[in-house]
Structures are given as structure tokens and as C-alpha cells.
Amino acid sequence: MADPIHLEYEVAADDYQAAGAASNSVKETLKMLGLPTAISRRAAIITYEAEMNLVIHGGGGKIVANIDEESVELMTIDEGPGIPDVEKAVQEGFTTAGDRAREMGFGAGMGLPNIKRNADVFEIFTEVGTGTTLRTVINLP
Amino acid sequence: MASVRISELCAEIDAKVHVPGDMDREVERAAVGDLLSFVMGSDADGAAWITVQTHLNVAAVAVLKDIPIIIIASGREPAADLFERCRAEGIALVSAAASVFDTCVKLGRLGISG
């Protein structure tokens, strides 16, 4: 890979119809670059869950992917309500999702745990009323 | 563990085929789940997926997990946009009148494992 690759996707609030588009694009890009399937699978899970978090909780936002020879960095940036208690939010089973999301099979409190499990670096920067940035890195073999 | 053609699998569960996808493709495993994050986080890659969810986001998960066939069980019918997306992605989309459990039992008889 010669030059680092930078991708950006806008995700709209409550847009369940478009959900999965960014994750699919990230996955396809990684596949095209010839990265191992295990890596593209992990990136797909992280991006999908992050995408859904923007749709359900973040009031929409942006997904950024930076790919170079050493790692895949995936970030989501939103200007949503922020996370009052990050420790709780990353606990399996904890959710603040509403009925609509739950009926569709989201909001089981598995999103952030799924992301954490698939990332080598997992960081959340959040402020109530200002927004949340999630940064994850997958190290390449 | 047996490799079973999707067409054979559909016959066994008496499926109503909405989108044929690749009926000649073979599957060895199946996964069950209605929580999308559960399926995303599981090792369902390449497996047949049995669910009672019928909306568009099911296709998004199937694409990401390389799932070749979605089986909507318990007599539920897919939403029109799920049908369209599966057709665009080449994913087989079928429904079965039998319950999730009974559908799984039938797949088990074919030698498909979890």
C-alpha cells in the first residue's frame, strides 16, 4: 500500500434504511487492498455498530477510516447528547435505546462491547451536551 | 458436517422463495438470532441465517457477514425493501411457515450444524 487511505461517511440520525452502507464500503475497501478476511470482518463489525450508534443515539455524525500499512483506524464523531457514564455504556446489556430500535433487533446493549472486542485500541472521548468521538484501531499483521 | 445446496435446504424446509440468490451455493452451518448485534458479533460468517426479523437491516448484516441465505421463519414475510436489497446483493431470501425451532430441526436433519 503506497499512500494512506482516508475515507469519510456521513450518517444521518434515525436513518435505518441507509445503515450498513459505510460498514460495507469499509469492508469492501479492505478486501480490495488484499487485507486478511479476519481484519475486514473485525472492521465491518466495528463500523456497523458505530454506524448504528450514530443512527440510534448520536443524532447522526461522521465515520472516518484511515488505513495505512500498520493499522486501520476507525472513528465516529457526533455532536449528539454525549455519554454520561462511559463505564456503564460499555457494559454488555446496558442500553438507552428506545422501543423502535429494540423492536428492530437493536438496542440490546451489545454495540460498544462488540466494538471493544474487535479493536486493539478503543477510546471514547465524550462530553454530555457536546458529543462523542469514538476511536478504534485494528493493528495489521 | 454436511455441505448442503441452498436449493436442497429450501426443499427440506418447504420454503417460499422470495429471492433465489445462488441456489447452487452450499452451506454447512446455520445461525439463529433476532438481535442484529448478536449476529454481527457471532461467527455466523457464511452460514444460513434463521430469524423472525423482516426489515431492511437484516440484509445489511447478511452482506457484512457473507451470509448467502436469510430464512425468515414462523410464517413471517419480508418487507418489500428487504426483498429489493437481497435481490440487489444476490442473497437468497426465503420464508418458512414452520417455527424457528422446527426449521432448525429440519436443517439439523440435513446435517447442517451450528
pLDDT in tens, A59-86: 999 999 999 999 999 999 999 999 999 9
Confidence of residue A19 (pLDDT cuts 50, 70, 90): confident
Overall CATH class of domain A5-139? alpha beta
Selected for mutation to probe chain B from A39, A56, A110, A117 (highest B CB count within 10 Å) is A110
pLDDT on residue A85:
95
pLDDT on residue B1:
75
Q: Phi, psi (5° rounding) for residue A79?
A: -115, 40
Statement: residue A3 has pLDDT above 90: no
434504511: which residue's cell? A17
Residue-range domain boundaries for chain A: 5-139
Is A106 close to B81, i.e. CB distance below 8 A? no
Q: With contact defined as beta carbons under 8 Å apart, do A106 and A113 qualify?
A: no
456497523: which residue's cell? A48
Please give the CATH topology (third level) of the domain spanning B4-109: 3.40.1390
Q: In chain A, which residue's Cα lies nearest the Cα of B62?
A: A20
* Residue type present at position A30: L
**Residues of A contacting chain B (CB within 8 angstroms):** 16-17, 19-21, 23-24, 27, 41, 44-45, 48-49, 52, 104-106, 108, 110-111, 113-114, 117
Statement: residue A134 has pLDDT above 80: yes
ipTM score: 0.84
Size of the A and B interface in Cβ pairs below 8 Å: 62
Cα–Cα distance measured from residue A35 to residue B89, given in angstroms and rounded to the nearest whole number: 22
pLDDT on residue A1:
61
Confidence of residue A117 (pLDDT cuts 50, 70, 90): very high
Q: Which residues of chain B have pLDDT under 70?
A: none
CA torsion B70-B71-B72-B73 (nearest 10°) is: -160
pLDDT on residue B74:
97
List all residues 6 or more positions away from A122 whose beta carbon is below 8 Å from its beta carbon: A115, A116, A135, A136
